[in-house]
Amino acid sequence: MSTVLTNVCKQYDQGKTVLGKVSAEIKTGEFFVIVGPSGCGKSTLLRMIAGLTDITDGEISIDNRVVNNLSPKDRNLTMVFQSYALFPFLSVWDNVAFGLKARKHSQVEVEERVNNALKMVNLEDLKDRKPRELSGGQRQRVALARAVASDAKICLMDEPLSNLDAQLRIKMRQEIYALQRKLGITLIYVTHDQVEAMTMADHIMVLHNTEVQQIGTPAEIYKTPANEFVASFFGVPPINILPATKLSSKSLKVNGDFEVKVDQVITENELKVGIRPNELRVAKADELTANATVKNIEFLGDEKILYATFNNGNEVSAIISSETHFDLFDTIKITSTNNVLLFSQDGINITKGVGDVVNA
Amino acid sequence: MLKTSTTDVVPEKKVEANSDRKFKLTAKDKYYASIFVGPSLFLLGLFVFYPMFRTLYISLFLTNSFGNTTLFVGLDNYVKLISSPDFVASMWVTVVYVVGVTFFTIAMGLLLANLASQKLPGIAIFRTLYSVTMGVSVSVAAIFWLFIFNPSAGFFTLLTKMLHLPTVNWLTSPTNAMWAIIITTVWMHLGFVFLVFLGAIESVPTTLYEAADVEGVSSRYQFFHITLPMISPTLFFVSTITIIGSFKSFGLIDLITKGGPTNATNMLVYRIYNDAFFGGNYAKSSAEAIILAIIIAFFTYLQFKFLEKKVNY
C-alpha cells in the first residue's frame, strides 16, 4: 500500500526536460512534501501522479498497480489546487457534494459525508454561502472539505497555502497537519516554502534542476543535507557557505580568517564550509583584529540577525542575542563553533557520517 | 445642509461630505454635466427619441399619403390592428421565428464552441471556419442561400436527387419557407454567437475541470454542471441580443421570401415596412411599430427579471 515512483521523466515536445528520473517511495499514511524553488517541476510531478499530465518515461504505481495509463478518476485520489478550484455558482455545501453527486452516491450517503467533512473543517455554519462570500482561509477549508468528503486514500495538494497571508498560513498549516493525522490519509504536498516542508512533513523530497537532490525526514534534511543546494534551501537565514583551506588533518582555515577544528580527517586542500547563522560568534573588535564590518541588523524579538561583510568581500549572516548591541559599520570579529558542514568544491556534502544517511 | 463652493469642481468630494445623499448641483457642475452628457443626448434625441415619439404621435392619427397627420382617432389604430386576424397571424409568425432562431442559434453555437474549445491539432482551422459568417453581409447571404434553396439547381435539390428522395419546395410551401428563413438567420447569427461562446468557454478556469476529472466526474456532467453555469452570464447576454435581433430581422426576409408564401414569413418588421412604404398607411404602420417595440421591451424585461439574478454568481 504505497505510491512508488520509478525513474519518472517528463519532457516537453521541444525536448526540454522538466523532470529526469525521479524515484521515490511514498508510504501509506505519511505526509510527504515535495519542495523546491519555482520551476523545478514539483507541480508537474504532482500532476503526473494525479494523472492530469502524461509522463514521458518511467513508472508510477499505487498499491502495486501501475497507473501510468489510468485516467485521474481511476487512481482513487483527490486533489486540492492552489486556486482551490471552487465552483463560484454553488454554495459551500454543494461544492463539497459536487463530486459525490456526480458519481451518483445515494442522497443519504452524500449528506452524511458532506456534513462530516464540513464539521471536520469547522464550516458547518457557512454551508449556504457562495465562495465569493468567504475569506481566503474559508475557501481553503472548502477545498479541504472536498478532499475529506471523498473516500480517496491519497490526497494531493499543490501549494494550497500560497494564496493566504502569513498568519493564516501558520494556522492552516496546523489544521492540514491535524486533518492528515486524524484521517490517516497519504498526503502528497507540493510547496516552495521550506518552512511548510520542515514543519509538516514525515519525509521531504527536494527537487532542483530537474533532479531529486535528497529525500529524508526534516531532521535529516536539515542536519545532514546531501549537498550545498539542500543546505542553503533550508533554514532562515540561509546557511553561510564559505571557502576554506586545509590547515592540518583535522582543522581548517575558513575564509582565510579563522580556524575551525573538525572531527574527521580532511583529505582535500580546498573545500567549502557551511556554517548555520546560529553557529557563528560575533564580538566587537578594533580595526587591527577585526575581520568583518556590520552591514545590516534585523531585530526579531528574542534575537537579531546580523548581516556583515568579511574584509575579503564574502557576505555572512549570524544570529545574535537581541541584548547584544552593534551599530552599522562597526568592525567585528566573527568566529565559529566547530559544528559545521563540509562540502567538496562541487558542492557534495563530505562531512563525516553524512554519506551513510544520504545513501540509506 | 451641504456647503457648496464655486471653486471645487470635483463632485466626489461633495458626495462624500453629504451624509444624507442629497445632490445639489452648482452652476459649474451643471456646466460639466452638460458637456459630458450633451453630445450623446443630442444625437440620441435626434435619431432615437424624436422618431420614437413622432411614431407614437402618428399612431394616434389618421394620415394622408405623405405621412402627414389628418384626424385624431386615439387608440383606434391599435384596436383595429389587434382585431385584425392578419396582424395577429403576423405576430404569431414572428414569435415562432424568434423562438426557432434563438433556440437553434444558441444550441448550435454552444455545440460548435464546445467542440472548438478542445485542444486538438488543427482546431484553429475550425475556429476560423465557424466564425466566418460574421463577415458575410445580409445580401450576400441571401443570394448564397437562394442558390442553395433553388428548386431546380439548388444544393438541397441536388442532394435529395442523389439520395432519390422527394424534392422539397423550400420557398413555396409555407412551413418550409419558415424553416428556410430560420435556417438562414441561424447561419447568419452563428459566427458571432460561436465566437462569444468560445471566449466564454475558454475563460472557465481549467482547474475546475481538473478538479472534476480527479473526482471522477464524466465529461457530459462537466459540460452541464460546470461549463453551462460558468458561462450563464454569456448565455443570458447572447439570448437577449438574439431575441431582440431576430424580432428586428428584415433583410433576409425581404431578399429571400418577401413575406411569402401567403404571409407565412410576414414578420412584424416586414409588415411595418410594407404598410408604410408600399401601402402608404403611415398611421397603421406606426401603430404596428409601437406594438413591436412594446413586445421587445416586454421580452427583455422578462429576461432581466427572471434570469439575471440566476446567472450572476
Contacts of B208 in chain A (CB under 8 A): 85, 87
Contact predicate A358/A349, CB 8 Å: yes
Residue pairs between chains A and B whose CB atoms are closer than 8 Å:
68
Mutate to test the interface with A, among B214, B307, B310 (most CBs of A within 10 A): B214
Contacts of B211 in chain A (CB under 8 A): 79, 81, 85, 146
Closest residue in A to B216 (Cα–Cα): A73
Contact predicate A30/A76, CB 8 Å: no
Cell numbers for A294: 556590520
pLDDT in tens, B127-156: 888 888 888 888 888 888 888 888 777 788
Question: Do A89 and B229 make contact, defined as CB atoms within 8 angstroms?
Answer: yes
Residues 6+ apart with CB under 8 A from A11: A17, A18, A56, A57
Closest residue in A to B231 (Cα–Cα): A89
Angle between helices B50-58 and B282-311 (to 10 degrees): 130
Burial class (CB in 10 A: 0-12, 13-18, 19+), B1: exposed
Would you give the DSSP letter of residue B168? P
- Sign of the torsion formed by the C-alpha atoms of A311, A317, A320 and A322: positive
- Please report, rounded to a whole number, the percentage of residues in chain B having pLDDT higher than 90: 24
Interface subset of B 248-307, CB within 8 angstroms of A: none
What does R_g of chain B's alpha carbons equal in angstroms? 26
Which positions of chain B have pLDDT values less than 50? 1-19
| A44 backbone φψ class: left, alpha, beta (φ>0; ψ -120 to 50) | alpha
Residues in chain B: 313
pLDDT at B202: 92
Pairing of strands A186-191, A203-208: unpaired
pLDDT at A238: 92
Question: Do B214 and A72 make contact, defined as CB atoms within 8 angstroms?
Answer: yes
Q: How far is it, in rounded angstroms, from Cα A354 to Cα A341?
A: 9
Q: How far is it, in rounded angstroms, from Cα B149 to Cα A120?
A: 65
Contacts of B216 in chain A (CB under 8 A): 72-74, 99, 102-103
Contact predicate A332/A290, CB 8 Å: yes
Contact predicate B196/B235, CB 8 Å: no
Chain-centroid distance, C-alpha B201: 22
A146 vs chain B: nearest CA distance in angstroms? 10
Q: How far is it, in rounded angstroms, from Cα A119 to Cα A141?
A: 11
pLDDT at B65: 76
pLDDT in tens, A162-172: 888 888 888 88
Contact predicate B131/B191, CB 8 Å: yes
pLDDT at A234: 92
Question: Do A102 and B207 make contact, defined as CB atoms within 8 angstroms?
Answer: no
Domains recognised in chain B with CATH numbers: 78-310 (1.10.3720.10)
Contact predicate A62/A143, CB 8 Å: no
The structure's pTM equals 0.79
Mean pLDDT by 10 residues, chain A (360 residues): 81 81 90 90 90 88 88 88 90 90 85 90 88 89 89 88 86 89 91 91 92 92 92 91 89 86 86 92 89 92 92 91 90 90 89 63
Interface predicted TM-score of the whole assembly (ipTM), two decimals: 0.83
- Asked if residue A237 has a cis previous peptide bond (ω within 30° of 0), the answer is yes
Cell numbers for A354: 553524512
Q: Of the candidates A133, A54, A131, A49, which has an alpha carbon nearest to the alpha carbon of residue A98?
A: A131
A152 vs chain B: nearest CA distance in angstroms? 9
Q: B71: helix, coil or strand?
A: strand
Which residue in the set B211, B216, B225 is minimally distant from A103, CB to CB? Answer: B216
Q: How far is it, in rounded angstroms, from Cα A58 to Cα A8?
A: 4
Which residue in the set A77, A83, A87 is minimally distant from B214, CB to CB? Answer: A77
